[in-house]
Amino acid sequence: MTEATVMQTDLDRLADRIEKAAGIIQELRSARDRALGETDELRQRVRAMEEQLRGQNPAELMGELQALRKEQKEWLTERREVAGKIEALVKKLDKIDG
């Protein structure tokens, strides 16, 4: 191989590597742009949520949540009692029918 051929081959390899690098850079720029867009969207969502929560006392919200949980437990207990009573009545009706 002549020196010119070797130099041309090296230049071709360099050109290929530069093209690959340029492609990767373009992909990274696109990914960065998408990430920036998503970041902006998330910032807007956070601001909107902050505005919704502004003026609300976290302690009051926790108190309301605890009260709701207590009420839920009471309803479940009452539901179990009613279900037990209905079951007992169904058994009595079965005895009458049987």
pLDDT of residue 1: 60
Contacts of 15 by beta carbon, 8 Å cutoff, 6+ apart: none
Cα 34 off chain centre by: 18
pLDDT tens digits, one per residue of 11-43: 888 898 999 999 999 999 999 999 999 999 999
pLDDT band at 44 (very low <50, low <70, confident <90, very high): very high
Separation in Å, CA 6 to CA 12, 14, 17, 20, 93 = 10, 12, 17, 21, 102
Q: Give the residue extent of every domain in the chain.
A: 1-55, 57-98
What would the two tokens of residue 75 be?
A: 């309803």
DSSP letter at 3 equals H
The per-residue pLDDT for range 70-82, each reduced to its tens digit, is 999 999 999 999 9
Q: Residue 34: what pLDDT?
A: 95
